[in-house]
Structure formats: C-alpha cells, structure tokens
C-alpha cells in the first residue's frame, strides 16, 4: 500500500484542511439551527432573531461560511465520486492494484479481515470521530456567538479540546486515507468481486 501513496503527501496539511472543512460544515449546519431555533442552544422559549444582534451576527457568519463550500462545488463533487468509486468498480488503472489484490487473495480469511479493518474501516471510523469533534467545536463557537460572547472559561477550553482531538484524529487517519481508495477496491475485489 505504501507504493500507492502520493509522493507529495503531507499528512499535517491534510489534517488541517479536513478539520477546517468539517468545522465550516458544522458552523453552517449548527448556525442554521441556532438562527432558526435558538432554544436548542440554551435560550429557552426564544424565537428566531429575538435575541437581538447575536442572531444577526450568527446569520451573517453562516452566510460567510457558506461561501467556502459554494466556491468548491466541483472539488466536493469530485471527492464524493472518488469516495464512492471503489464500491462500484475495481481501480485497475492503479499500478499497485493487481499486486495488492493477488497478495490479499493468497492470504487466509482472518488476514483479509484484518486488512479490511485496518485499511478500509478504521480510517473511516477515525474520519467520523474527527468530523464529530469538529462539529462539537463548531457547536461551542455557535453557542458563544448566540450568547453574545458572555461565556465562561469552559467554553473556549472545550472548543480547543475538540479542535485538538479533531486535528489529531485527522492526522492519524491521513496516512491510511491516502491509499484508502485502493485498499477499499482491493478488499472488495478479493471479498466479493465486482
């Protein structure tokens, strides 16, 4: 799998980039919820825009944050296609595919399962955990905006903790994610065929 890794792969850049994308997605989703239903953020019996300026600031932040994915629609579409592709067709154009598929097919079933868990499912689980942590950091950010900045010391501390966890998890997953498409395709080819 190492031979299939891109030559210019920088795992920390990947981790920062994916954290920012997940955080922005969290700000957009949670910001819309906070703008339309502020009572879900600890302001009981609040209605939209009844809190004064914080709701308008949050709506503005959501609009600004929405520019990020709007300017990257082609990249997002390409990423979705690339993630789904190994489940629909073998990636035979990759020079490492045949060798990896042959090597995995010659292994006993327990080692195939281990390969699938380590190279296909564990990286996906790490990405889900990292994205959840980024959304948690976005929650504390949106909550602080809705509170008008009147928050205690725990708010930024929790947010910083979730940011750290998210970036570290994205970094841990980065190396295996760089060859994830090939691993998923090889695993599917050996386990089920196409």
Read off the pLDDT of residues 29-81 as tens digits, 9 standing for 90 and up.
Answer: 999 998 888 777 766 666 677 677 888 898 999 999 999 999 999 999 998 99
Q: How far apart are CA 79 and CA 122, in angstroms?
A: 19
Q: How far apart are CA 10 and CA 173, in angstroms?
A: 12
Structural domain contains residue 3: no
Structural domain contains residue 1: no
Q: How far apart are CA 165 and CA 144, in angstroms?
A: 20
Contact 38, 182 (CB under 8 A): no
**Gyration radius of the chain over CA positions:** 21
Tell me how many domains the chain contains. 1
Structural domain contains residue 118: yes
Q: What is the pTM of this model?
A: 0.85
Contact 51, 43 (CB under 8 A): yes
Give the residue numbers spanning the domain of 127: 10-191
pLDDT in tens, 170-191: 999 998 888 899 999 999 999 8
């Amino acid at each position: 799998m190492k031979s299939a890794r891109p030559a210019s792969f920088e795992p920390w850049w990947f981790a920062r980039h994916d954290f920012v994308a997940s955080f922005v997605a969290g700000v957009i989703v949670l910001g819309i919820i906070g703008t339309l239903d502020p009572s879900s953020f600890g302001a009981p019996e609040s209605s939209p825009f009844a809190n004064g300026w914080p709701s308008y600031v949050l709506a503005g932040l959501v609009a600004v944050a929405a520019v990020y994915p709007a300017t990257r629609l082609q990249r997002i579409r390409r990423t979705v296609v690339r993630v789904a592709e190994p489940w629909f067709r073998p990636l035979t154009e990759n020079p490492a595919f045949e060798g990896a598929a042959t090597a995995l097919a010659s292994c006993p079933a327990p080692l195939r399962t281990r390969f699938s868990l380590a190279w296909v499912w564990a990286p996906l689980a790490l990405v889900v955990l990292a994205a959840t942590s980024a959304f948690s950091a976005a929650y504390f950010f949106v909550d602080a905006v809705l509170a008008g900045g009147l928050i205690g010391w725990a708010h930024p501390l929790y947010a910083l903790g979730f940011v750290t966890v998210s970036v570290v998890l994205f970094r841990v997953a980065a190396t295996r994610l760089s060859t994830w498409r090939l691993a998923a395709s090889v695993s599917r080819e050996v386990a089920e065929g196409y």
